[in-house]
Amino acid sequence: MQNIRERESLQSLIEVLNTRNKELRLLYETSKFFSTTLDINELYDKLFDVLRNIVDMQDMFVARYDEPNRKIKYIYLRSVLEEKNIDVSGIPEIPLAPEGKGILSEAIRKNDTVVVDDYQKRLQNSSVKYHVTNEGDLSEQDMGKEYIIETAMIVPIKLNGKILGFITLMSKNKNEFDESNLHWIETVVNQAAIANKNAILFSEVVEDAKQKKNLEWELKKASGERESLRSEAAGRVRENMKTISSLLQFQSDYIREPVYLEYFKMAKTRAHTLGLIQEKLYSLDSVNEINFESFLGSLIPNLYNEFEVDSVRVSTYINVKDVNLPMEKAITCSLIINELVSNALLHSFPNKKKGNITIDMHEEEKGKYYLAVRDNGMGVISARGKPHSFSMVLVGMHVKNMGGTFEVDRKNGTKVTIRFK
């Protein structure tokens, strides 16, 4: 029963971390795209698609704010009713509304993100309003459409503390925008702000070649800020993993049974390993193909530290040469090796027994890989004196996800052989 609960708990943790990993990968790909486009419409088309992967929204407005003249100008509108953005050139500039009379104006005064959960009620107090029709056009009157906007989020587009404009996201769902997605949306919008600034600077250079030196300086500065955002995202994942590890450590302080202490310690190392993986990913220039040998160089020493094993007493040999894996397979293989090496360090060399662990990996044929983890200890035994099978369940799950096969040989120690494409 305990194994079932532990499996369910860890499966839930893996699902949460996989979701975070998907969001971070999306954030990385978005940042990469934003750094290559200087077309405003392409930029916001991409932003619309990215945000639709984060929240269930139907409409997106983008407005510029002219601070000296205190006026708002809509420059972009996209709706799920249309495959491309809607022409907003006919919308006149809107002056900043009196206090309490405009949703955008409220966000400008607050200089911060505003979430409106009673959008229809608030819309009645707005002095100026536009509606999206079923045909994806704009109308000054509500012509009725297949959904009603219930919730809106207004996110400021800022650069160096200055408001450039706002992005308004609208959803037919109540309470669609909350703390669970707020920071992701703000991070993506901040990246769009930098890319937006780059595009503006480029157009100015086209008009006046004399500003070229200023553009290069601004682009370099913007690039540094983008790298800062990437670093911040990696830092958030690392801190999340530390929090999970700390919670598991805190809970384990109240556990006295050795077998349960082992479960908590293993869960703690899994969370810590996932944090190391994400940190390593964000230190790479490209994640299309990852040099797996260098990847393991960060993972293995951490396991020795976690389990307080002397590397002189138990040595680990890594025979991995010229193996470059796609990001998802590199992450999965890291989790498999983490599981197998952790169990070997915990169970195969009791009573200060000496030994070694060997990790072999190579490409047998084009696109077909061989991975083996073996030790010359007494075999993987749990705290109850039985073969430790739960880790093998996790390994089996990971191998299955890769469409691979694995086999276990417990002669003269333990050897796990895995083949995958």
pLDDT tens digits, 315-337: 999 999 888 888 888 888 988 99
Q: 306 falls in which pLDDT band (50, 70, 90)? A: confident
Q: 232 falls in which pLDDT band (50, 70, 90)? A: low
Backbone angles phi, psi at 357, to 5 degrees: -125, 135
pLDDT for 387 equals 43
pLDDT for 222 equals 63
Output the CA torsion sign for 378, 383, 387, 390: negative
The pTM of the whole model exceeds 0.75: no
> Is pLDDT above 70 for 188?
yes
pLDDT for 325 equals 87
- Which tens digits make up the pLDDT trace of 202-223? 666 666 665 566 666 667 766 6
Neighbours of 82 (CB within 10 A): 14
Q: Which residue has the higher pLDDT, 339 or 379?
A: 339
Average pLDDT over residues 358-387: 78
User: Contacts by 361-366 with C-beta closer than 8 Å and gap 24+?
Assistant: 361/292, 361/319, 361/320, 361/323, 361/333, 362/319, 362/320, 362/321, 362/322, 362/323, 363/322, 363/323, 364/419
Average pLDDT over residues 292-309: 82
- 313, 335, 314: which is closest to 325 by C-alpha? 335
Distance CA 163, CA 95 (A): 16
Structure tokens given for 112: 């911060």
pLDDT for 234 equals 57
Alpha-carbon torsion, ordered 278, 284, 285, 291, to 10 deg: -120
pLDDT for 204 equals 60
Secondary structure letter of residue 366 according to DSSP: T
- Which tens digits make up the pLDDT trace of 376-420? 988 654 444 444 567 788 888 999 989 999 898 888 888 999 999
Three-class DSSP category at 31: helix
Distance CA 37, CA 9 (A): 43
Average pLDDT over residues 90-114: 82
- Sorted by sequence, the CB contacts under 8 Å of residue 200 that are 6+ apart come out as none
CB 318 within 8 A of CB 337: no
Helix 390-401, helix 327-343: angle, nearest 10: 160
> Is pLDDT above 90 for 172?
yes
CB 43 within 8 A of CB 196: yes
Domains of the chain: 2-16+231-420 (3.30.565.10), 37-226 (3.30.450.40)
User: Contacts by 30-34 with C-beta closer than 8 Å and gap 24+?
Assistant: 30/188, 30/191, 31/191, 31/226, 31/229, 31/230, 34/191, 34/192, 34/194, 34/195, 34/226
> Is pLDDT above 90 for 359?
yes
- Which tens digits make up the pLDDT trace of 15-48? 656 665 666 665 566 666 666 666 778 888 888 8
CB 406 within 8 A of CB 393: no
> Is pLDDT above 70 for 182?
yes
Distance CA 1, CA 86 (A): 57
pLDDT for 383 equals 42
Three-class DSSP category at 349: coil
pLDDT for 314 equals 93
Burial (CB count within 10 angstroms: exposed 0-12, middle 13-18, buried 19+), residue 319: exposed
Choice among 168-172, 290-294, 345-349 with the minimum mean pLDDT:
290-294
Structure tokens given for 355: 């030994």
> Is pLDDT above 60 for 123?
yes
- 182, 186, 190: which is closest to 222 by C-alpha? 190
> Is pLDDT above 50 for 64?
yes
**Kindly report the CA angle at 19 between 14 and 23, in degrees rounded to 5?**
145
Average pLDDT over residues 361-388: 76
- 207, 192, 181: which is closest to 76 by C-alpha? 192
Average pLDDT over residues 43-63: 87
Q: 144 falls in which pLDDT band (50, 70, 90)? A: low
What percent of the chain has pLDDT above 90?
14
Phi-psi region of 46 (alpha: psi -120 to 50; beta: other; left: phi over 0): alpha
DSSP alpha helix (H) spans, 292-389 = 292-307, 327-343
> Is pLDDT above 50 for 57?
yes
Distances (CA, A) of 185 to 179, 325, 419: 10, 30, 39
Average pLDDT over residues 40-67: 86
What average pLDDT does the chain have?
Answer: 77
Q: Which residue has the higher pLDDT, 380 or 79?
A: 79
- Sorted by sequence, the CB contacts under 8 Å of residue 265 that are 6+ apart come out as 252, 306, 307
Average pLDDT over residues 140-149: 72
- Which tens digits make up the pLDDT trace of 151-165? 999 888 877 777 888
Distance CA 329, CA 289 (A): 10
Which of 139-143, 286-290, 359-363 has the largest mean confidence?
359-363
pLDDT for 362 equals 92
